[in-house]
Structure 1
Amino acid sequence: MSIDYLDHPKDEKKLRRFQRKVTIVSAGGTFLDGFDLTIIAVAMPLIIQQWGINALEQSILVASAIIGSFIGAAWLGKLTDTFGRKKMITIDLFAFVVFAILTAVAPNVIWLIVFRFLLGIGIGADYPISATLVAEFSSTKNRGRQGTFLAMMWFVGAVTAYISGVLLLPLGETAWRWMFLLGALFALIIFIFRIGLPESPRWLASHGRQEEAQQIIYDLTGNRVEIKPEPQRKVKISYLFSPKLRRRTIFVTGFWFCYATAYYGISMYTPTILSAFTEGSQQATYIASSIVSIIGLVGAFIGMNLVENWGRRPLLITSFAGLTTALVILTINSHPTLTFLVILFSIAVLFSNMGGGILNFVYPTELFPTNIRAGASGFATSISRIGSILGVLVFPNLVAAWGNSAALGFFAFIGFSGLMITIILAPETKGQRLEDINDESFVEGK
């Protein structure tokens, strides 16, 4: 199937307005992902103070939403290929609203863990749903920029979580509940704006609904197109490891796993690490952590503006090289100062987010065909969540056993592994139509 109406519309202004709407409301989901996954790091010191939870309960609480997102990405990503992008992108946000409210009123740590886990299912689902919808409505020349904008909004959400912590801290021991409730308010607003989005014409055409696809194309572009019916092929997730897709699957899951392991291992414990250097000031810890998070956002913004000019492959190679270098320097300094930690953590997340943190929303949607695109993206997301869980659970235990330097050395090795995977396997997809990328003639590794 060839759908090139997005590259040559009659009504270009109307299409551009619609593409902006799709990108923004989809990015609202990734904003919530960043906010909800980061707010637990901000709220944790207050929860510990109020409930006196032990180290095991802390690690389970931090990991609960990430474990939920592993299930949500693997399960709901596949359902998106079956039931459509439109249905799932709306249902997904409804789950955000309900479970964010429940986390805010949780009576004890057990229920908080349960509600965070259920919230995580929605978080994991939103990655493949939003990224796939944006990719399928994007023009070839803007697809990378629009996909990376989605990813950048994750870091806007993370920064918002830290700012919320600073602003709500004066509310005292209940401040963490208001932080979670704020996430529910954000989700409700985005849910309202997502209602009314049309279905992806590519998905409709791939399910034999050519007339509906043609009507949506006409409504958006003014172009009358004829889409020829194609045999419907239902594919299993095992197709990702077929000879045609195996290399792509290993690359996407490999680089995303390495990025997630390093990023989550560092970012989820940044406040904990820095608190030892702020003389017990919770506000100073939040401010220092906010600086690191803001620099990470700057990195994502830089990457978003380079992705279409520089290309995906060189951007990702530079990202892992910079991340690994910063982590090696952190590893060899066994007696750091607060300023040194803030600067090096900032450099590490700047480089990591410049490539790995934004191209995880681009490569998975580009390298797989329509009938398995969301499922492939969901599968890659679920593998990355294994890395996230590993980073979150391994880091505190490594610190307890061998100290910060050994823990950071472990993540430096993970960063180097991501660099090698990228150099060996990463293709360049800049300027290629989705149908061309998934054509047999597309050459890998260039």
Structure 2
Amino acid sequence: MTNNAVEDAVEGIGRSPVNRKRFLLRLTVVASGGMFIDGYVLGIIGTVIGAITTDLNMSVYGTGLIGAAALIGIFAGGPLGGWLADEFGRKPMFALDLAVFVVGSILQFAVDSSWQLFLVRLLMGIAIGAEYSIGWPLMTEFAPARLRGRCMSFAEVAWYIGFVSAFIVGYVLALYDADWRIVLGTSTLPAVVLFLGRLGVPESPRWLMNKGRTEEAKRIADTYVEDGADHADIFSEEQRSGTFAMLFSPEVWRATTFISVFWFCTVTPYFAIATFSASVLSQYGLGEEGLLGAIGVNGVALAGVVVSCLLIDRIGRRKLTIPQQWVSAVVLVIIGFWASAPPLVVLSCFLVFAFANAMCTALTGVYPGEVLPTEVRGLGTGFATAVSRVGAGIGTFLFPWSMEELGGGTTMLVAAGICVVGAAASQVLAPETVGRTLNEISSSDKR
């Protein structure tokens, strides 16, 4: 097996006239590229928000809105993109979504007021939110069962790479006193490359079967999908129309509840702690070493996602989902109750939290596509995306207030409580899906 995560994800896939290995590699890259852009856009704003505030003479509330614009857009774009993908197909939305993002990214070069920047970032956020509910279902429906976890979890690796890359680009351009519009507009280059890479990607044969377009589904499946259980599973798809109400039907509510609660409880404490990690660590006695510790927290988080990506199809989903949430809760409880803990102990606890939390975060890109049926796979993923962004927004917005008004100890205990809720929900609702076809998973969840 190769050491490269993407190559490892597609190792052993047989060849065909279109080279199935190369196709799956391409699809993994262009689908994960959407998550790279998500991380990049959320990261790059942090490198220039000070310059934007000064240049546009914004109030503290205006600054907050600019920073939150993309998150607000993601909240709306997730369900909207999912509905469009379920209704009109993965293929057209896969390209159209990136086209919208490219337009928004280019517009950043020309904005000259705070409201224009807010609208542009909102548009880009909508496109990013749609990415989750379009790209993930498409990737899920093509990936072979034995490699599906690695193909899907690589998207989270790409997110962290995009987030870190944004800070590197912002730092380098700051050395040359680049205008903040140029810094923000750098997202255009990867977006254009990604858009071109998506041209020609075929429609999901599962979606085609679900819509009764059997001949088209057979032609695409014969060309791009391996023979065997994965190929046969496509043709056992039922022709059913999906609706929002179906997400809460007796057959699907468990899946909807699980992915929403799990995702919310995973990202809420992380976004809060990671965003303000430098100041938090300083408050716990690390002083000037707080920034270095913050870099360590985010670096360890990247390592945690990579570990899950490499192990997910070997040891299963539940082993990478449940224990890590309990570990996250325990280390936050230690910080919460041990107010006088030595700085090294506090830093160690935060690093353990970052690693454990990131390990289960990798599953947020895997479970939605696996546990939801085809007819609502996009819509359900979009709904869970929206719920997760509510958590990210709440955590980021309330964390500074909580640290000041309630204190560090109480804040950490609240974060630990959120982790406990996620762990308990996963303990009860999380299925083991490793190596199983999508219809096998859906059928077992309905029983």
TM-score by length of 2: 0.87
> Are 1:32 and 2:16 matched, yes or no?
no
Q: 1:104 to 1:268 in 2, by over 3 A?
A: farther
User: Does the Cα contact within 8 Å between 1:10 and 1:221 map onto a contact in 2?
Assistant: no
2:97 partner letter: D
Tell me what 1:412 maps to. 416
**SS of 1:198's equivalent?**
coil
SS in 2 for 1:36: helix
The letter of the residue matching 1:293 is N
Q: 1:10-409 alignment to 2 at 5 Å?
A: 11=16, 14-51=19-56, 53-172=58-177, 174=178, 176-220=180-224, 232-270=239-277, 273=280, 289-332=294-337, 334=339, 343-355=348-360, 357-409=361-413
Q: How many angstroms apart in 1 are the aligned matches of 2:407 and 2:170?
A: 28
Letter paired with 1:348: F
Deviations 1:310-359 (A, max 9, x none): 1111211122123223323343455788876665443322211111x211
Q: Offset at 1:113?
A: 2.0
Displacement of 1:442 after TM fit? 5.2
The structure-2 alpha-carbon separation of the partners of 1:183 and 1:246, relative to structure 1 and needing over 3 Å to count, comes to same
Q: Quick one: distance in 2 between partners of 1:286 and 1:73?
A: 33
For the 8 Å contact 2:16–2:223, the answer to whether it is kept is: no
Amino acid paired to 2:148 = R
Confirm or deny: 8 A CA contact 1:41 1:269 kept in the other structure. no
Structure-2 separation of matches of 1:407 and 1:50: 34
Q: How far 1:268 moved relative to its partner?
A: 2.9
Structure 1 counterpart of 2:80, one-letter code:
W
The Cα shift of 1:57 comes to: 2.6
Q: Distance in 1 between matches of 2:226 and 2:368?
A: 30
Q: Judge which range, 341-350 or 253-262, deviates more.
A: 341-350
Structure 2: give runs of 5+ residues left out of the alignment.
1-11
| Cα distance in 2 for residues equivalent to 1:279 and 1:312 | 36
Does 262-271 or 302-311 show the bigger shift?
A: 262-271
- Deviation of residue 229 (structure 1)? 9.4
Q: Distance in 2 between matches of 1:317 and 1:130?
A: 26
The CA distance in 2 between the partners of 1:222 and 1:418, in whole Å, is: 36
Structure 1 residues 342, 176: closer, same or farther in 2, change over 3 A? farther
- The 1:255/1:229 distance shift into structure 2, 3 A limit, reads closer
Residues 163, 277 of structure 1: alpha-carbon distance in 2 compared, 3 angstrom cutoff: farther
Query: Contact 1:74/1:375 (CA < 8 Å) preserved in 2?
Result: yes
Distance in structure 2 (CA, Å) of the matches to 1:51 and 1:90: 34
Shift of 1:285: 7.7
- After superposition, the Cα gap between the structure-2 partners of 1:160 and 1:416, relative to the gap in structure 1 and judged at 3 Å, is same
Cα offset for 1:102? 2.5
Q: Is the contact made by 2:325 and 2:423 (CA closer than 8 Å) also made in structure 1? A: yes
Aligned to 1:438: 442
Q: Note closer, same or farther for the CA distance 1:442–1:250 as it changes in structure 2 (3 Å cut).
A: closer
> Structure 1: where are the runs of 5+ without partners?
1-6
C-alpha displacement at 1:223, in angstroms? 6.3
| Aligned position for 2:3 | none
Write the letter of the residue equivalent to 1:185.
Answer: L
- Measure the CA separation in 2 of the matches of 1:410 and 1:52: 36
Kindly state the Cα deviation for residue 39 of structure 1 after the two structures are TM-superposed.
2.2
CA contact (8 A) 2:145 2:436 kept: yes
TM-superposition CA deviations, 1:257-296 (whole Å, max 9, x none):
1112112222333356568899999xx9876544332221
Residue type at the aligned position of 2:73? G
When structure 1 is superposed on structure 2, of 123-132 and 286-295 the one drifting more is 286-295
Distance 2:226 2:416 in 1: 52
Cα distance in 2 for partners of 1:229, 1:358 equals 29
- 1:166 Cα offset (Å): 2.5
Task: Give 1:30's aligned amino acid.
Answer: M
Q: Aligned pairs, how many?
A: 433
Q: What is the DSSP-based 3-state SS (H/G/I as helix, E as strand, rest coil) of the residue aligned with 1:309?
A: helix
Distance 1:30 1:293 in 2: 17
Contact 1:148–1:304 at 8 Å: present in 2 too? yes
Specify the code of the residue in structure 2 equivalent to 1:438.
Answer: S
Superposed CA RMSD in Å reads 3.1
Measure how far apart 1:188 and its partner are: 1.1
Using the alignment, how far apart are the partners of 1:402 and 1:144 within structure 2?
40
CA distance in 2 between partners of 1:288 and 1:415 (Å)? 22
On the 8 A contact 1:300/1:354 being kept in 2, the answer is: yes
Q: Is the 8 A contact 1:39 1:180 kept in 2?
A: yes
1:84 to 1:285, Cα distance in 2 relative to 1, 3 A: farther
378-387 or 259-268, larger mean C-alpha shift: 259-268
The sequence identity of aligned pairs, in percent, is 33
1:213-252: per-residue Cα shift (whole Å, max 9, x none)?
A: 1122233358698986977321211111111111221111
> Which residue identity is paired with 2:297?
V
1:12–1:221 contact (8 Å) kept in structure 2: no
